[in-house]
């Protein structure tokens, strides 16, 4: 038995702090909010929905904070710290909130650093160091460093949203940690406030002075009291991130913490998960960007062999080995099922491997790396696996494969049903010699508990990710503990680290003492007491943690209930359960969701925070411009989840009024771009959820005049167009625009699409009749929507010209029972939540077009949001198999032409197209991006001799149907356009800009004063 440490520990008993905070009266919360609002410049968010949105991170936990504070600068953080100390409310600092163990979940005041506190403070090119504020996102820092040939090399998978403050808090580690180490190896200074408000420069021990020196000296004393235990019990692996880094005084890590063997006090704060001090800035050691990379993909017939071989592969390094990453059979299979990834993964696999290891070498000299690849090939031959390595020396090929490796996890996470892959033992680190035995034994543990896990990630450092599938609403918590206990035994047996990447949080806090023993556990308590005697910073984390399986702290406890709701759209595909051992899904509508699948679709958001990204892709334009959690897809999904589960209040008829208003508020800036449908790892389709929500909301609150004006446009356009000259006065007389703004909310700063007296529908060109098309040898049906029909008729005429030039017999879609009106997809009704009306329109479209699609005749459209409704929302309206058949034959013009060109049927058109010697830039409509329909535009435009279209890397244009026309949304709409689209267009004043979306063209006209054209117009012009 260890003797107790001679240190007095005054930490509050477990449970006390949270009880105290949870019971904090409204009076305390009110006082806190009031003082924050009065004394700081920051945003003070204390509404139930705001607190709910910050009650979760990427873990399974949920704890409601007292409130949320978004500081505008470091000064605000310091003021908030002082106020919290005064009113005795703890602080939970937060970056991107992507922690997997519940580090950012806690009662108290959450301080979100990610919105404003994110500057590069100083940069020293010579010393290769940068000082950054904690809210800076890793990718943003690296983007700034790229032109200097430098980077910060702790390349976490969440690089697009993880903040440096959060990374330091968790002692994060990247895929290339074998070469660069963890955060602790790359942070060389931390400026931080301790709970008493004192600002310290934590850096080299010997240079410390004053109060910092005093803290350092006492920390050293504490460490020396347990020096023998540190020596004996500390896991001797690179990837140990649990507990406090008390070994800074006597390094136990595989890799020294400092280059010169000195003691750096900053390293004590790294990995302390916000419990010791509030970070003001971090000094980072930067690295040279590798000039060359090569990749060897080693194919293994058995998973065990792959694991056993990792220990030999890492010896090839000589400093050039930067990654050895595992992709197992399940992930290979999932990738092969995905049309986008299949061709890439096929280039990497030989036959049907059970696992592959991605072995990367990088450095300044490619010839050296190529020799390393040869060494790898030879090694595999020596180990009995000749011809098992696929060598990739081209960067593009390597990049594509790394993308598949990342996406594989995403596909795995999209499992429907209440059983989900749960992260709680997903980063135990074991020495490489034991990796094969460890993974084998843990797989047996899963099997015994009726579940399984897919293995992936960092074989180089013995940290493999694996998430067993558990249902936290039933027996998940119980199984989690048992599996954790059995896994921990294995970790001990193989002398590993229980927490090897993702930190402690709630999930692993109670394993800290288990890992390090009671004496070191007490020493950790003493460290906490030394830095934060009042227990103000993240209480009950690392020291005195709660139980990992305390269901009161969970997002989906067994008591979780969904409010019964009759959705208007069909969500039955989500209303399923799964078998954790086989991952088989039950049939639709069998999942027991009282909201008939809507709630389960919402719950697909696992809070990973991927939607807080700024890089390629569309998701999520409203977050990109506001940087507000509320306006991210995650924020919306959480608000909906809280509402649907009654956590924002309920009423007899379902959702409470407060809940409805909270969701409305969160949905306000959602432009329904469907970026999330494509980019979210679990396919959260917020645009569709918004339609459902609007329907529910408007059913209770009614429609506005603007809703009606927008929705009914297809119906009144015919009667309005004769008055084009009169109606267009609104664009010419500012007073009329102002009146329209006052009466309807349409921004006076916008021009509206111009009406035409003569348009496609009242001056129809000669086209084939239904019967002629049905009996033609090369028939096609052109679907002319409201916008291209009434407002931009030349586009419809251009499409007709192109199709006819290509030799098609073109019929213009019309009603089966003509009533003088055009066929309409119902999009405008959907946009305002009028689903019944949209369904009536859709039903007409389906029945009118069915005779064609039954004969295999394709339907071709021009406006992405209209045509793609046939492939999306129309399938959720209960229109049966006819709608599905239509969906299979509905194509955008370019999709159709690209398909036909591939089949060799466009030779006639190609021969007619005249060359064009101009730069052509393409802006894809968001729905085109969501349906992978941008590439066909490029392919088809390339048919014009001399044209090499460039796709503009842009998110949503910001107009998004009627969104950008609304006075209340004008500014945000323009900010969205200015993110990348408009600057890219302005860069090339002479370029032709192609944009298929009518709103996109309008936004480009308003924002850049440039006329963008539909691809059909460009093609027709060259005939």
Ligand X SMILES: Cc1cc2nc3c(=O)[nH]c(=O)nc-3n(C[C@H](O)[C@H](O)[C@H](O)COP(=O)(O)OP(=O)(O)OC[C@H]3O[C@@H](n4cnc5c(N)ncnc54)[C@H](O)[C@@H]3O)c2cc1C
User: In this chain, which of 463, 608, 828, 869 binds ligand X, going by CB under 6 A?
Assistant: 608
Q: Is 212 in the site for ligand X (CB under 6 A)?
A: no
467 close to 421: Cβ distance less than 8 angstroms = yes
- In the bound state with ligand SF4, the residue whose beta carbon lies nearer, of 356 and 866, is 866
Tell which one of 97, 419, 453, 500 touches ligand X (CB under 6 A). 97
* Residues within window 616-645 making contact with ligand X, judged by CB under 6 A: none
Cβ nearer to ligand X, comparing 75 with 450 = 75
Q: Hey, what are 1022's tokens?
A: 């060259």
DSSP string, 27-51: HHHHHHHHHHHHH-SSEEE-SHHHH
Least distance (Å) from ligand X to the CB of residue 79? Answer: 15
Q: Count other Cβ atoms within 10 Å, centred on residue 238.
A: 22
Does residue 98 belong to the site contacting ligand X (CB under 6 A)?
yes
* CB of residue 481 to ligand X, shortest distance in Å: 22
Least distance from ligand X to the Cβ atom of residue 121, Å: 14
Integer Cα distance of 285 and 631 in angstroms: 34
CB half-sphere exposure, 82, CA atoms < 13 A: 13
How far is residue 346's CA from residue 356's CA, in Å, rounded to a whole number? 12
> Interface with ligand X includes 191 (CB under 6 A)?
no
User: Least Å distance between CB 472 and ligand X?
Assistant: 17
- The nearest distance, CB 538 to ligand X, in angstroms, is 6
Verify binding: residue 42, ligand X, rule CB under 6 A: no
Residue 113 interacting partner from ligand X, ligand SF4, none (CB closer than 5 to 8 Å by kind): ligand X
**Minimum CB–partner distance for residue 658 and ligand SF4 (Å):** 22
The residue among 182 and 645 lying less far from ligand X, judged by its C-beta, is 182
Return the residues of window 101-130 that contact ligand X according to CB under 6 A. Answer: 103-104, 113
* Residue of the chain from 17, 35, 52, 57 that contacts ligand X (CB under 6 A): 57
What is the CB-side half-sphere exposure of residue 640 using CA atoms within 13 A?
32
Q: Does 99 bind ligand X (CB under 6 A)?
A: yes
Question: Binding of ligand X at residue 279 (CB under 6 A)?
Answer: yes
In whole angstroms, how close is the CB of 887 to ligand SF4 at the nearest point?
Answer: 20
Beta strands 890-892 and 859-861 are parallel
Among 360, 443, 370, which residue's Cα sits nearest to residue 399?
360
603 is a site residue for ligand X (CB under 6 A) = no
Give 237: exposed, middle or buried? Use CB within 10 Å, 0-12, 13-18, 19+: buried
- Please choose which of ligand SF4, ligand X, none residue 687 contacts, taking the beta carbon within 5 to 8 angstroms, the exact cut-off set by kind: ligand SF4
163 binds ligand X (CB under 6 A): yes
Stretch that binds ligand X, among 92-100, 693-701, 706-714, 717-725 (CB under 6 A): 92-100
- CA 843, CA 866: separation in Å to the nearest integer? 14
- 167 makes contact, choosing from ligand SF4, ligand X, none, with CB < 5 to 8 Å by partner type, with ligand X
What does DSSP assign to residue 954?
Answer: -
Contacts of 622 (CB under 8 A, 6+ apart): 631, 632, 669, 670, 671, 972, 976
- The three-class DSSP label of residue 877 is coil
Q: Which is nearer to ligand X, 95 or 924 (CB)?
A: 95
Phi, psi of 690 (to 5 degrees): -65, -40
**Smallest gap from residue 611 Cβ to ligand X (A):** 12
User: Interface residues for ligand X in 859-878 (CB under 6 A)?
Assistant: none
Q: Is 173 in the site for ligand X (CB under 6 A)?
A: yes
Q: Which does 508 bind (CB under 5 to 8 A by kind): ligand X, ligand SF4, none?
A: none
User: How far is CA 151 from each of CA 189, 290, 570, rounded to the nearest angstrom?
Assistant: 17, 9, 47
Q: For residue 943, how many other CB atoms are within 10 A of its CB? A: 16
Q: How far is the CB of 872 from ligand SF4 (least distance, A)?
A: 12
684 phi and psi, to 5 degrees?
A: -60, 120
Q: Measure Cα distances from 220 to 217, 233, 520, 526 in Å.
A: 5, 18, 13, 11
Which of 11, 40, 62, 172 contacts ligand X by CB under 6 A?
172
Angle, CA 763 vertex, CA 759 and CA 765 arms, to 5° = 115
Residue 241 beta carbon to ligand X: minimum distance, rounded to whole angstroms? 8
Q: Give the nearer residue to ligand X in terms of CB position, either 181 or 1007.
A: 181
Question: From the CB of 685, what's the least distance to ligand SF4, in Å?
Answer: 8
Residues 6 or more apart from 1008 whose CB is under 8 A from it?
982, 985, 986
Q: Which residues bind ligand SF4 (CB under 6 A)?
A: 605-611, 619-622, 633-634, 636-637, 670-676, 680-682, 684, 686-687
β 129-132/278-285 pair status: antiparallel
By rule CB under 6 A, what string of x and - marks binding of each residue 494-523 to ligand X? -------xx---------------------
- Distance in Å, CB of 58 to ligand X, minimum: 4
Under the criterion CB under 6 A, does residue 425 sit at the interface with ligand X?
no
1003 makes contact, choosing from ligand SF4, ligand X, none, with CB < 5 to 8 Å by partner type, with none
Cβ neighbours around 743 below 10 Å, total: 11
Least distance from ligand X to the Cβ atom of residue 59, Å: 9
Of 71, 96, 580, 683, the one binding ligand X by CB under 6 A: 96
Helix (H, G, I), strand (E, B) or coil at 131: strand
Write down the least CB distance from residue 174 to ligand X, Å.
6
Contacted entry of ligand X, ligand SF4, none for residue 95, CB cut-off 5 to 8 Å set by kind:
ligand X
Interacting span for ligand X (CB under 6 A) from 163-171, 366-374, 688-696, 717-725? 163-171
Query: Which of ligand SF4, ligand X, none sits in contact with 93, Cβ below 5 to 8 A by type?
Result: ligand X
Q: Where are the alpha helices (DSSP H) in 266-354?
A: 266-269, 303-313, 329-337, 342-346
- Picked from ligand X, ligand SF4, none, the partner binding residue 675 (CB below 5 to 8 A depending on kind) is ligand SF4
Q: Are 357 and 459 in contact (CB under 8 A)?
A: yes
Out of ligand SF4, ligand X, none, what residue 955 binds, judged by CB under 5 to 8 A for its kind, is none
In this structure, the number of other CB atoms found within 10 A of the CB of residue 532 comes to 23
Residue 634: name its binding partner from ligand SF4, ligand X, none (Cβ under 5 to 8 Å by kind): ligand SF4
Could you say which residues in the range 255-274 bind ligand X, by CB under 6 A? 273-274
Q: By CB under 6 A, which span of 172-180, 196-204, 623-631, 797-805 interacts with ligand X?
A: 172-180
Rank residues 480 and 687 by Cβ distance to ligand SF4 and give the closer one.
Answer: 687
Q: Which helix (H) or strand (E) holds 783?
A: strand 779-783
Q: Which two tokens stand for residue 740?
A: 């329209």
809 contacts which partner out of ligand X, ligand SF4, none, CB within 5 to 8 A by kind? none
Tokens read off for 156: 């976490």
Smaller CB separation from ligand SF4, 442 or 676: 676
Q: How many CA atoms lie within 13 A of 228 on its CB side?
A: 6
185 vs 634 by CB, closer to ligand SF4: 634
Q: Residue 189 binds what, of ligand X, ligand SF4, none (CB under 5 to 8 Å, by partner type)?
A: none
When computed from its CA atoms, the radius of gyration of the chain, rounded to whole angstroms, is: 30
Sign of CA dihedral 520, 522, 525, 531: negative
Assess contact for 425 and 99: CB atoms under 8 A. no
| 229 membership: H or E segment, kind and range | helix 227-233
890-892 and 950-951 beta bridge pairing: unpaired
Q: Which segments of 637-747 are extended strands (E)?
A: 650-651, 654-655
- Residues present in the chain in total: 1023
Q: Nearest distance from residue 361's CB to ligand SF4, in Å?
A: 32
What Å distances lie between residue 786 and 760, 835, 863, 896, 962, CA to CA?
10, 18, 9, 21, 14
User: Which pair of tokens denotes residue 1015?
Assistant: 């691809």
Binding site for ligand X (CB under 6 A): 57-58, 92-100, 103-104, 113, 134, 156-158, 162-163, 165-167, 169-170, 172-174, 273-274, 278-279, 501-502, 538, 608
């Amino acid at each position: 038995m260890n003797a107790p440490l001679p240190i007095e520990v005054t930490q509050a008993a477990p449970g006390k702090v949270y009880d105290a905070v949870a019971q904090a009266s409204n009076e305390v919360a009110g006082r806190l909010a009031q003082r924050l609002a009065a004394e700081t410049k920051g945003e003070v968010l204390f509404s139930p929905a705001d607190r709910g949105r910050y009650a979760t991170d990427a873990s399974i936990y949920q704890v409601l904070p007292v409130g949320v504070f978004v500081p505008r600068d470091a000064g605000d953080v310091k003021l908030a710290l002082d106020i919290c100390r005064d009113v005795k409310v703890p602080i939970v600092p937060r970056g991107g909130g992507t922690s997997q163990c519940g580090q950012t979940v806690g009662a108290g005041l959450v301080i979100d650093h990610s919105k404003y506190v994110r500057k590069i403070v100083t940069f020293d090119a010579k010393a290769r160091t940068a000082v950054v504020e904690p809210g800076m996102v890793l990718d943003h820092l690296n983007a700034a460093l790229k032109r200097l040939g430098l980077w910060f090399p702790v390349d976490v998978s969440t690089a697009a949203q993880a903040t440096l403050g959060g990374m330091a808090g968790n002692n994060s580690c990247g895929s290339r940690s074998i070469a660069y180490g963890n955060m602790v190896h790359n942070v060389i200074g931390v400026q931080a406030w301790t709970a008493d408000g004192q600002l310290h420069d934590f850096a080299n021990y010997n240079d410390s002075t004053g109060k910092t020196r005093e803290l350092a000296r006492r920390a050293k004393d504490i460490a020396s009291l347990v020096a023998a235990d540190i020596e004996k019990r500390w896991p001797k692996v690179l990837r140990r991130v649990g507990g406090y880094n008390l070994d800074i005084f006597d390094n136990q890590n595989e890799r020294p913490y400092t280059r010169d063997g000195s003691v750096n006090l900053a390293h004590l704060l790294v990995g302390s998960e916000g419990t010791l001090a509030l970070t003001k800035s971090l000094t980072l050691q930067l690295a040279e960007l590798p000039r060359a990379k090569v990749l060897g993909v080693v194919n293994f017939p058995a998973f065990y062999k792959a694991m056993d071989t990792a220990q030999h592969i890492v010896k090839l390094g000589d400093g050039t080995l930067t990654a050895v990453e595992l992709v197992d059979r399940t992930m290979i299979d999932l990738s092969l099922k995905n049309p986008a990834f299949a061709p890439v993964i096929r280039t990497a696999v030989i036959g049907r491997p059970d696992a592959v290891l991605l072995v990367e070498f990088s450095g300044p000299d490619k010839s050296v790396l190529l020799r390393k690849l040869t060494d790898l090939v030879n090694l595999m031959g020596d180990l009995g696996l000749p011809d098992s390595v696929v060598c990739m020396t081209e960067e593009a090929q390597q990049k594509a494969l790394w993308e598949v490796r990342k996406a594989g996890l995403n596909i795995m996470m999209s499992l429907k049903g209440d059983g989900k892959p749960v992260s709680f033992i997903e980063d135990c680190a074991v020495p490489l010699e034991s990796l094969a035995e460890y993974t084998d034994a843990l797989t047996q543990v899963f099997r015994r508990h009726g579940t399984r896990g897919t293995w992936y990630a960092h074989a180089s450092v013995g940290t493999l990710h694996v998430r067993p599938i558990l249902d936290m609403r039933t027996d998940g918590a119980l199984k989690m503990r048992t599996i954790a206990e059995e896994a921990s035994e294995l970790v001990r047996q193989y002398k590993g680290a229980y927490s090897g990447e993702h930190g402690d949080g709630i999930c692993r806090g109670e394993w800290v003492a288990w890992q390090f023993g009671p004496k070191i556990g007490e020493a950790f308590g003493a460290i906490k007491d030394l830095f934060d005697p009042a227990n103000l910073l993240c209480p009950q984390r690392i020291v005195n943690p709660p139980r990992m399986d305390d269901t009161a702290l969970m997002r989906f406890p067994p008591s979780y209930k969904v409010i019964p709701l009759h959705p208007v759209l069909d969500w039955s595909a989500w209303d399923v359960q799964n078998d954790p051992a086989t991952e088989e899904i039950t049939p639709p509508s069998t999942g027991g969701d009282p909201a008939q699948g809507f709630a389960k679709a919402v719950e697909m958001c696992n809070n990973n925070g991927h939607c807080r990204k700024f890089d390629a892709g569309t998701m999520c334009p409203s977050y990109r411009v506001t940087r507000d959690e509320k306006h991210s897809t995650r924020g919306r999904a959480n608000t909906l989840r809280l509402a649907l589960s009654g956590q924002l209040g309920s009423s007899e008829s379902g959702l409470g009024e407060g809940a409805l208003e909270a969701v409305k508020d969160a949905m306000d800036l959602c432009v329904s771009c469907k970026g999330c449908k494509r980019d979210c790892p679990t396919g959260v389709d917020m645009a569709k959820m918004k339609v459902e929500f609007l329907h529910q909301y408007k059913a209770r609150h009614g429609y506005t005049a603007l809703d009606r004006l927008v929705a009914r446009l297809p119906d009144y356009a015919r009667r309005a167009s004769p008055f084009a000259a009169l109606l267009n006065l609104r664009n010419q007389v500012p007073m009329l625009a102002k009146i329209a703004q006052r009466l309807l909310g349409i921004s006076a700063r916008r021009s509206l699409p111009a009406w035409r007296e003569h348009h496609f529908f009242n001056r129809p060109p000669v086209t084939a009749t239904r019967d002629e098309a049905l009996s033609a040898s090369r028939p096609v049906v052109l679907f002319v929507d409201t916008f291209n029909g009434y407002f931009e008729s030349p586009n419809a005429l251009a499409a007709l010209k192109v199709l006819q030039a290509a030799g098609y017999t073109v019929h213009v879609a019309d009603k089966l029972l003509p009533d003088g009106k055009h066929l309409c997809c119902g999009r405008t009704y959907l946009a305002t939540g009028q689903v019944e009306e949209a369904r009536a329109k859709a039903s007409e479209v389906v029945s009118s077009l069915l005779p064609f699609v039954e004969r295999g005749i394709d339907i071709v459209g021009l406006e992405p949001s209209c045509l793609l409704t046939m492939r999306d929302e129309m399938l959720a309206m209960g229109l049966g198999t006819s709608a599905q058949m239509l969906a299979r034959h509905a194509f955008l013009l370019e999709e159709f032409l690209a398909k036909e060109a591939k089949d060799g049927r466009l030779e006639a058109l190609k021969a007619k197209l005249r060359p064009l010697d101009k730069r052509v830039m393409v802006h894809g409509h968001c729905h085109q991006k969501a349906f992978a329909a941008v590439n066909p535009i490029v392919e088809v435009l390339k048919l014009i001799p001399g044209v090499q279209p460039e796709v503009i890397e842009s998110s949503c244009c910001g107009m998004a149907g009627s969104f950008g026309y609304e006075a209340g949304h004008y500014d945000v709409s323009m900010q969205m356009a200015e993110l990348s689209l408009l600057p890219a267009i302005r860069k090339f004043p002479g370029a032709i800009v192609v944009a298929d979306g009518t709103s996109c063209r309008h936004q480009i006209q308003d924002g850049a004063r440039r006329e963008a054209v539909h691809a059909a117009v460009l093609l027709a012009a060259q005939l």
